Amino acid sequence: THCGVHAHIKHIFALLDGTKKHGVPHTFIQFFGDGRDTSPTSAIKYAQQVLDKCAQIKYGSLATVIGRYYAMDRDKREERVKIAYEGLVQGIGDKVESGELIKHIQGLYDAPGDKRQTDEFFKPIIVDPNGRIKDGDTLLFCNFRADRARQLTEALGIKPLFETSVIPKDLKVYTMTVYKKEFPFTALYPKSYPRTSSQNGLVPRGRPSSTAPRLRSMPT
């Protein structure tokens, strides 16, 4: 979202531009609805922005929409993470074509009673069936805040802590920042601290400073 608590939509757009420029054949966006740090019904706006960006640059696609309740759990509720994981990997969820996505989201907002879903609680919506995570794929987790990114990253990049029938092999996993020092993943922006107080002021924890390495070529 634009609030930048866990990630920022401008980073997504910059990465789309970068992967296209560097010849990555295709990029699939896995969209995690917020609804806590933003309005609970703001995902419809951000999803439209992603669709518009992909159409504008004629590259990439919005593959999946999932609420953070499932995709960004941090309390070891693996039954939630499993729902997100199986949506991303197996395509278990509502099947919606990209041209109908905005209408579908609005329908979830407007649904009566227990059928209503807001951004945080979206169960997987499968928009592009080709965007399932498969053997040999490269994944880039764009969250710069680590706490709500660790469980899903570990499930995909190391092994799931729940029973599931499909586990993609040989994934290349990159993260925006260091999520956990024990993780074997390459971080685009590892923590970096200025050597003198005059170099850059204080560096917020987990955020890139000007001394961090800049992205020169996107992973393929």
Parse the chain into domains and list their residue ranges: 9-200
Q: Return the pLDDT at 192.
A: 63
- Residue 204 clears pLDDT 50, i.e. is over it: no
Q: Return the pLDDT at 36.
A: 78
pLDDT in tens, 87-126: 999 999 999 999 999 999 999 999 999 999 999 999 999 9
Three-state helix/strand/coil letters over 155-176: HHHCCCCCCCCCCCCCCEEEEC
pLDDT in tens, 45-59: 999 999 999 999 999
Tell me which of 84 and 5 has the higher pLDDT.
84
What are the two backbone dihedrals, phi and then psi, of residue 74, each rounded to the nearest 5 degrees? -125, 10
pTM of the model: 0.83
- For the chain, the maximum distance between any two Cα atoms, rounded to a whole number of angstroms, is 58
pLDDT in tens, 4-31: 555 678 999 999 999 999 999 999 999 9
- Quick one: 9-200 is in which CATH superfamily? BPG-independent phosphoglycerate mutase, domain B (3.40.1450.10)
How does the average pLDDT of the chain come out, rounded? Answer: 86
- Residue 152 clears pLDDT 80, i.e. is over it: yes
